[in-house]
Amino acid sequence: MANISLYLVTFNCARTLVQAHQFGPHILDAFPQDVPTPDILVISLQEIAPIAYSFLGGSFLTPYFDAIREAVKLAAKGHAHVISRNLGMTAIMIFAKDPTNISSIQTAGVGVGVQELGNKGAVGIRLVYSETQLTFVAAHIAPMENAMLRRNEDWRNIVKRLVFTNNVRATRDEQDEDAPLLQGLPHGDGSELGMYSPRSHLFVAGDLNYRVSETKPKESDFEKFPQPTDEADNQNHFMMLLENDQLLQQRKLGNTLHGLSEAEIKFPPTYKLLASNGSSDWNWARHRWPSWCDRILYLESPVWMQKKIRVHKYDVLPQLETSDHRPVGLSLSVPLGAIPKPPNQEDDIRLHPPFDIDPDWKSRRAIARKKEIAVGIVAYLILTWEGNTIVLATILGSIGGWLIIQSLLIV
């Protein structure tokens, strides 16, 4: 085996439990049909569950992870679940054809939402597969057309505070997901703790939320929304919108996703679709510009390495009726073997990351985690039927107790 076959999928679940029987048959739609199933399957999930369950984590998320596991069983029989992690509402799951090839797993997480909470943020897993170090990052950053600068700032904070911690067992369950995110630093060269590492390949997948306009569409703009057509010069062909894609523009300016590459986009926008039964790919909501929010990028092999990454397919998957996003998949091959040490100080982003690691990353994450638990408890009590039941029972119990005490006081 001269290469590792990778397949990455990103999907915004819209806080709704994924239906395995709908998702599973299409997970591998962007994987070449004439080659064996991938060695490693990575699934990036955004808005995996309602905020209460996401912030509390643990067993509250088990049904949501289980649904993805069931979908993967339908898509790639024989692939074993290796590890799942979430940072608030963003999660990452890794499956492998032969998990015995995987070792030295590390995790990282950072929130970039309000007060650095995990309603937006990133979660990462770094592992070694047969001496090849791979770093996978699932991300979800600021929404809305006019928030382009905020998205760039979110990316900056992810790079500064996504710090990988001590090794964890591949068999550890996601129920204790918050523990590894708060562990101490691993021993070794501090320059290799962040997202960019001289010895690692890097992949970023998620709802990056870059749009095709800085303002909301006017009613008259709806006529320009993409519709089925093979004529590239037609105003309704999606390529007309892609020319205004913020992510393509900001990457060229060096303002975001520094050093990362993306395969050519040949598919229609992935957002914002109205809920449907999957019968139409062009049923757009009128109050948002159709945009390529869901993306997968990768870091090319370093300049001092002869073998290069090879992309096979980058495509959109069918819409699921539970989300206003369409999943996106990327299949590629990565050279097998460790990235050699650079012969000298090459001009490579692995050696010169765009931002230094924030020395306070650990304490900031610990404070944010406490806030998430507090918000999660309140949201659970107010926004879930289980929480409402607890509140009602508490009120009725308090009233009953008060009545009993009053009756005992009556002479």
pLDDT digits (tens, 9 = 90+) for 44-56: 999 999 999 999 9
- Residue 60 included in any domain: yes
The answer to whether the CB of 282 falls within 8 A of the CB of 226 is yes
Distance CA 71, CA 55 (A): 24
**Looking up tokens 């995790």, which residue turns up?**
107
Report the SS3 class of residue 273.
strand
- Helices within 230-323 (DSSP H only): 239-242, 246-252
How many structural domains is the chain composed of? 1
pLDDT at 398: 76
Q: What is the mean pLDDT of the chain?
A: 89
- Residue 204 included in any domain: yes
pLDDT at 402: 66
* Range(s) of the domain holding residue 88: 3-360
pLDDT at 257 exceeding the cut of 90: yes
User: Worst-scoring range by mean pLDDT, 3-17, 319-333, 392-406?
Assistant: 392-406
pLDDT at 239 exceeding the cut of 60: yes
Distance CA 81, CA 171 (A): 9
Considering only the C-alpha atoms of the chain, give the largest distance between any 2 of them, rounded to a whole number of Å: 93
Distance CA 53, CA 56 (A): 5
Query: Tokens at residue 139, please?
Result: 């991300």
pLDDT at 172: 44
pLDDT category of residue 167 using cuts at 50, 70 and 90: low
pLDDT category of residue 411 using cuts at 50, 70 and 90: low
- Residue 405 included in any domain: no
Query: Tokens at residue 390, please?
Result: 């607890």
pLDDT (average), residues 365-374: 96
Give the DSSP letter of residue 171: T
- Residue 382 included in any domain: no
pLDDT at 129 exceeding the cut of 60: yes
- Residue 18 included in any domain: yes
Report the SS3 class of residue 158.
helix
Task: Please report, for the domain that includes residue 98, its CATH number.
Answer: 3.60.10.10
- Residue 33 included in any domain: yes
Q: What share of the chain is helix, strand, coil (3-state, %, to 5)?
A: 30, 25, 45
For the chain, percent of residues with pLDDT exceeding 70? 90
Residue 377 neighbours by CB distance under 10 Å: 14
For residue 326, CA distances in Å to 10, 145, 249, 329 come to: 9, 18, 22, 10
- Residue 369 included in any domain: no
pLDDT digits (tens, 9 = 90+) for 199-227: 999 999 999 999 999 999 999 999 989 99
The pairing of beta strand 132-140 with beta strand 121-129: antiparallel
- Residue 392 included in any domain: no
